[in-house]
């Protein structure tokens, strides 16, 4: 049942995305990543005059600010695309009037959400890779790139993003809102998770809270695999942390989702 539900969900979503969504949506995602890198490039060249405080290298593990921002923007775009579309799956069913029929179908919830995640991962990786190629001329360098470390970091990050999307999806379905909840979370992630600057510059209390958001640790391990893994033990511990927090988020999300589905159906039928 799991594999059938995952396959059916993947095929349905992929087909609808190809047929229903315009090219402007795809171009808009590329431009968002490009604008982030452009703004960072102009700040670095015109405002910072190509100079960084020595503390930046100590906190970031590199003195290459442009490469730091390009990786941050790419991973942030991937996290937003996967979390957003997976978390909106059930509330989309609710808005389209198919939630009650879906609940009556003998489907696997794990397979359903896994199919959503797989489809969004395939689509989002294609978009992020293309945006990444567009940003390379701005000065990206990856002299110490580790393919094995990168694949491990990517897999652990996607797993953690999936768990966070389950919690966000439960909140969306309960509040029947996708605008305030998702945008509040994504803006907070963008500002404090180390996309444009190391989270070590933040106050200690806020930096501790941001570690509970998977994007921060995900950026750490992805950047480590690109710039060079200085500490193998630190890399492994961060990967372990991503897997643990992803499992916790997934468990909380599925338990919450099961109860909130009943509330949503009760509201439909009065």
The DSSP annotation for 52-101 comes to --HHHHHHHS-S-HHHHHHHHHHHHHHHHHHHHHHHTHHHHHHHHT-HHH
Mean pLDDT of 38-54: 78
What is the model's pLDDT at position 154? 92
pLDDT in tens, 104-142: 777 777 888 888 888 888 887 877 777 777 777 777 777
177-229 residue pLDDT tens: 777 888 888 888 888 888 888 888 888 888 888 888 899 999 999 988 888 76
- Give percent above pLDDT 90 in the chain: 14
> What value does the mean pLDDT take over residues 162-177?
86
Q: What is the DSSP letter of 179?
A: S
What's the confidence (pLDDT) of residue 229? 64
pLDDT at 68: 86
Cα–Cα distance for residue pair 268/87, rounded to 1 Å: 20
Q: Band of the pLDDT at 250, cuts 50, 70, 90?
A: very high
In terms of pTM, does the model score above 0.75?
yes
- Indicate whether 267 pLDDT > 70: no
Q: Which of 35, 34, 93 is nearest to 261 (CA)?
A: 93
CB 38 within 8 A of CB 137: no
Please report where in the chains the tokens 């945006």 appear, as a residue: 131
pLDDT band of residue 270 (cuts 50, 70, 90) is low
- Name every residue whose Cβ is closer than 8 Å to that of residue 220 and which is 6 or more positions away in sequence: 194, 238
Residue 142: its pLDDT value, please? Answer: 72
pLDDT at 190: 87
| Whole-number Å distance between alpha carbons of 50 and 44 | 5
How far is 55 from 6, CA to CA, in rounded Å? 46
- Whether the CB-CB separation of 243 and 214 falls below 8 Å is answered with no
Reading the block at residue 232, the tokens are 């193998």
Provide the pLDDT for residue 244: 95
- pLDDT of 247 above 90: yes
- Residue with more model confidence, 150 or 142: 150
**By C-alpha distance, which of 238, 76, 220 is closest to 161?**
76
Which has the higher per-residue pLDDT, 72 or 177?
A: 72
For 113, the 3-state DSSP assignment is: helix
Number of domains in the chain: 1
Helix runs in the chain, H state only: 2-20, 23-42, 54-60, 65-87, 89-96, 99-104, 109-135, 147-175, 180-192, 204-210, 215-227, 232-268
- What is the predicted pLDDT for the residue at 228? 76
- Residue 200, domain extent: 2-268
pLDDT confidence band for 25 (50 / 70 / 90): low
Report the candidate in 200, 193, 197, 196 with the shortest Cα–Cα distance to residue 217: 193
Q: Rounded mean pLDDT of 148-156?
A: 91
Lowest-confidence segment of 15-24, 39-48, 239-248 by average pLDDT: 15-24
Residue carrying the six token digits 């452009």:
38
- The backbone torsions φ and ψ at residue 250, rounded to the nearest 5 degrees and listed phi first, read -65, -45
User: Which residue, among 210, 213, 122, has the nearest Cα to 167 in the 3D structure?
Assistant: 213
Average confidence (pLDDT) over 86-111: 78
What mean pLDDT is reported for the chain?
82
């Amino acid at each position: 049942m799991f594999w059938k539900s995952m396959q059916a969900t993947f095929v349905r979503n992929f087909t609808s995305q190809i047929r229903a969504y315009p090219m402007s949506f795809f171009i808009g995602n590329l431009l968002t990543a490009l604008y982030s890198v452009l703004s960072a490039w102009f700040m670095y060249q015109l405002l910072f005059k190509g100079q960084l405080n020595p503390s930046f290298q100590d906190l970031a593990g590199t003195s290459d600010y442009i490469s730091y921002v390009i990786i941050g923007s790419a991973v942030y775009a991937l996290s937003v695309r996967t979390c957003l579309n997976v978390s909106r799956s059930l509330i989309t069913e609710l808005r389209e009037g198919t939630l009650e029929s879906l609940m009556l179908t003998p489907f696997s919830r794990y397979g359903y959400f896994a199919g959503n995640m797989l489809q969004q991962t395939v689509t989002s990786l294609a978009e992020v890779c293309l945006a990444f190629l567009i940003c390379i001329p701005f000065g990206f360098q990856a002299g110490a790139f580790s393919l094995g470390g990168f694949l491990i970091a990517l897999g652990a990050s996607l797993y953690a993003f999936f768990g966070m999307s389950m919690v966000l999806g439960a909140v969306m379905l309960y509040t029947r809102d996708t605008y305030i909840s998702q945008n509040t979370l994504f803006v907070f992630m963008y500002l404090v998770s180390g996309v444009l600057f190391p989270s070590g510059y933040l106050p200690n209390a806020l930096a501790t809270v941001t570690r509970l958001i998977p994007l921060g640790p995900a950026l750490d391990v992805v950047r480590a695999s690109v710039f060079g893994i200085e500490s193998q033990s630190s890399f492994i511990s961060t990967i372990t942390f991503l897997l643990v927090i992803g499992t916790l988020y997934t468990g909380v999300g599925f338990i919450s989702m099961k109860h909130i589905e009943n509330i949503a159906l009760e509201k439909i039928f009065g």
